[in-house]
Amino acid sequence: MTRTQRYGSDVIVDLLQAFGIEYVSLNPGATYRGLHDSLVNHGGGRPEIILCTHEKVAVSLAHGYAKTTGRPMGTIVHDVVGLLHSSMGIYYAHLDRVPVIVMGGTGPLDRRRRRPAIDWIHTAQVQGEAVRDYTKWDDQPATAADFPASFARAYRIATTEPAGPVYLCYDAGLQEEELAAPVPIDDVVGGARPAPVQADPRALARAADLVARAERPVIVTEFTGRHPEAFAELVGLAEELAAAVVDLHGRVNFPSRHELNVSFAQSETLREADLVLAVDVGDLHRALNELDRDSADRAKRPRIAAGTPIVDVGLSELRMSRWAEDLGDLQPVTLSIVADTRLALPELRKLVRERAGGRDRSARRREVAARHAEMVAAAEREARADWGASPMTAPRLASEIWSVIRKDDWVLTANTLEDWTLRLWDVDGPKRHPGRSFGTATQIAVSLGVGLAYRGTDTLVVDVQPDGDLMYDPGALWTAASSRIPLLAVMYNNRAYYNDFEHQIRVARHRGTPVENARVGQEIDDPAPDFAAMARSMGWYAEGPITDPDQAGPAIARAAEHVREKRMPALVDTIVRRRTPSRFR
């Protein structure tokens, strides 16, 4: 039972509890020492504190938890410096449409109450300006009585689709000040999350007319799987239309082994489309156009034939930053429908069914199924190539992990191992993977958030962990052990920042400079970090480095068994060879 409020920070803790926030990730800071004390003593350990070694880790952990559960958790960062540390994590949560409630403190705005020096250099005129361009909303309430309305609005804005991060800044003086009377919060809790947005009925009817007439419709989807009910509706619509489906894997939006899934035959499928139905696609121009990677001038060419009708359903028009051009180039469409697909897809299915009647689409389904079968067969053939190579190939590692976990109730966290996990594993629903990663310096912490979401369950959480990413945030390993987050981390260790390695190879080819020099400034190999030793030093079970591919499977199996039995994290450092793209051979 929550105690009677005495201080301003007690009100914040009561709000966290009332809105169902189970965890707060944080790195300690003096500007929220009042809130920290209230979490421990007034709140009695609710929400649970997840101690992190860096503010960006704290935010990215909350990111992983929210994209897994659909519910926000809190994360707390120290004034100006902590907020700046956390900024990249906040930006990635914005890109990934994830609700994260970032809280922070500032030195007292009443200058007479500031400590010399430190409260001055850690106080900004308007602290939220540091992250305003990639948060949905920020606020700095002026009195403790304002805390409830401010928090409620932040929660509503963060969780309303398209979701995103918000920032709340709490004056240290208000946190620590004794209250004249308790601050009521019950009246702001009821309408915590607004209802989803429905489409214009006339627009849906027009969309149904276009879709029902199509002979070769292609569905392109990116974020639909964030809602399981929308995932099921998308599968149903595709089956009724015999539509080919291209999943861009912002979430798992369509089963990987479904015969209508042609995600890795994207270009040839879109070329033959006579209609494209885009569902929850963040950057439609990127999906429908491809880069000529062999061109020195970054030329782009369309993947669809001129005049192909495009129906775009989603919420991208409601999600934008005035600072980052993350929406991509403008893609002209035939019909744009602003709607939450949880509501729009069932209605669109019904309208299409009314118009299409009992139309026989079996021939088209056989065509798409044949392409799917060839796509799967090609992946399996490629995976067997150089099977015995040492260091092992990425598809060999994906196969070894799959052989260990396939009978478990498993979840893959962020990295997809050059998409080999998506190509070779049976990814049958949104639970299996909360969406591909957004880049280096995020993946280990996001993975901890996914693991936290499943802590206390029998679900085996698997992190394919790049070496470059872990070098940014090695302290995250300590958080996993300290907070008892069970996680199976299998290193994707090619001892280089290989993504940029490829870019340097490409530039060298265009310029005629030595390709062998592409390695300079890319390798993490002199000395080679000992990730297993690093993990063991922070309380993990760990093996490696492993260069013999025949030893990888047994080591992964031992680590997985440790995670299952001990409910603690384990790491296997597997060395993977650097691929040479066929176009550069």
Q: How far is CA 356 from the centre of its chain?
A: 37
Residue 394 has pLDDT above 80, yes or no: yes
Q: 182: cis peptide before it, omega within 30°?
A: no
Q: List alpha helices for 252-305, DSSP H.
A: 266-271, 284-288
How far is 120 from 99, CA to CA, in rounded Å? 31
Q: What is the mean pLDDT of residues 10-33?
A: 96
Residue among 142, 147, 56 at smallest CA distance from 100: 56
106 and 160 housed in the same domain: yes
Which pLDDT score is estimated for 214?
A: 97
Residue among 394, 417, 444, 431 at smallest CA distance from 575: 394
Quote the Cα angle for 357-359-365, to 5°. Answer: 135
> Is the pTM here over 0.75, yes or no?
yes
Question: Which of 21-25, 84-88, 116-120, 434-438 has the lowest average pLDDT?
Answer: 116-120
Which pLDDT score is estimated for 192?
A: 64
462 and 347 housed in the same domain: no
Structural domains counted in the chain: 3
How far is 88 from 130, CA to CA, in rounded Å? 11
| Residue 452 domain-assigned (yes or no) | yes
Q: What is the mean pLDDT of residues 437-464?
A: 95
Which pLDDT score is estimated for 295?
A: 62
97 and 135 housed in the same domain: yes
The pLDDT tens digits of the residues spanning 153-185 come to 999 999 999 999 999 999 999 999 999 999 999
297 and 335 housed in the same domain: yes
Residue 299 has pLDDT above 80, yes or no: no
Which pLDDT score is estimated for 342?
A: 96
Higher pLDDT: 436 or 401? It is: 401
- CATH number for 279: 3.40.50.1220
At 573, which amino acid appears? D
Give 581's pLDDT tier (boundaries 50, 70, 90). Answer: very low
Higher pLDDT: 317 or 332? It is: 332
| Residue 378 domain-assigned (yes or no) | no
How far is 559 from 470, CA to CA, in rounded Å? 18
246 and 182 housed in the same domain: no
The pLDDT tens digits of the residues spanning 74-109 come to 999 998 899 999 999 999 999 999 999 999 998 877
Question: Which of 63-67, 243-247, 581-585 has the lowest average pLDDT?
Answer: 581-585
How far is 560 from 116, CA to CA, in rounded Å? 52
Give 293's pLDDT tier (boundaries 50, 70, 90). Answer: low
Q: What is the mean pLDDT of residues 173-199?
A: 88
Last residue of a domain, one of 329, 352, 373: 373
CB neighbours of 373 closer than 8 A, spacing ≥ 6? 259
20 and 128 housed in the same domain: yes
| Residue 52 domain-assigned (yes or no) | yes
| Residue 57 domain-assigned (yes or no) | yes
425 and 337 housed in the same domain: no
Which pLDDT score is estimated for 337?
A: 97
Q: What is the DSSP string of 400-439?
A: HHHHHHTTS-EEE-S--TTTHHHHHS---SGGG-S-----
Give 487's pLDDT tier (boundaries 50, 70, 90). Answer: very high
CB neighbourhood size of 110 (10 A)? 10
| Residue 306 domain-assigned (yes or no) | yes
323 and 456 housed in the same domain: no
Q: What is the mean pLDDT of residues 370-389?
A: 96
Q: What is the mean pLDDT of residues 8-25?
A: 97
Residue 372 has pLDDT above 90, yes or no: yes
Residue 371 has pLDDT above 70, yes or no: yes
Residue among 88, 343, 306 at smallest CA distance from 195: 343
Give 585's pLDDT tier (boundaries 50, 70, 90). Answer: very low
Q: 99: cis peptide before it, omega within 30°?
A: no
Residue 582 has pLDDT above 50, yes or no: no
Mean pLDDT, the chain, rounded, equals 93
| Residue 380 domain-assigned (yes or no) | no
Give 490's pLDDT tier (boundaries 50, 70, 90). Answer: very high
359 and 240 housed in the same domain: yes
Contact of 100 with 66, CB cutoff 8 Å: yes
Residue 1 has pLDDT above 60, yes or no: no
Question: Which of 122-131, 425-434, 476-485, 551-560 has the lowest average pLDDT?
Answer: 122-131
Q: What is the mean pLDDT of residues 474-499?
A: 93
Higher pLDDT: 80 or 461? It is: 461
514 and 479 housed in the same domain: yes
Task: Tell me the residue range of the domain where 287 lies.
Answer: 201-373
Give 583's pLDDT tier (boundaries 50, 70, 90). Answer: very low
Three-state secondary structure along 494-553?
CCECHHHHHHHHHHHHHHCCCHHHHHCCCECCCCCCCHHHHHHHCCCEEEEEECCHHHHH
Residue 47 has pLDDT above 50, yes or no: yes
| Residue 134 domain-assigned (yes or no) | yes
Contact of 464 with 417, CB cutoff 8 Å: yes
The pLDDT tens digits of the residues spanning 201-221 come to 999 999 999 999 999 999 999
Helix, strand, coil shares, percent, the chain, to 5: 45, 15, 40
CB neighbourhood size of 77 (10 A)? 33
Give 196's pLDDT tier (boundaries 50, 70, 90). Answer: confident
- CATH number for 167: 3.40.50.970
344 and 463 housed in the same domain: no
| Residue 60 domain-assigned (yes or no) | yes
> Largest alpha-carbon pair distance within the chain?
78
Question: Which of 110-119, 290-299, 326-335 has the lowest average pLDDT?
Answer: 290-299
Pairing between β-strand 166-171 and β-strand 488-492 as defined by DSSP bridges: unpaired
Q: How far is CA 278 from the centre of its chain?
A: 20
448 and 478 housed in the same domain: yes
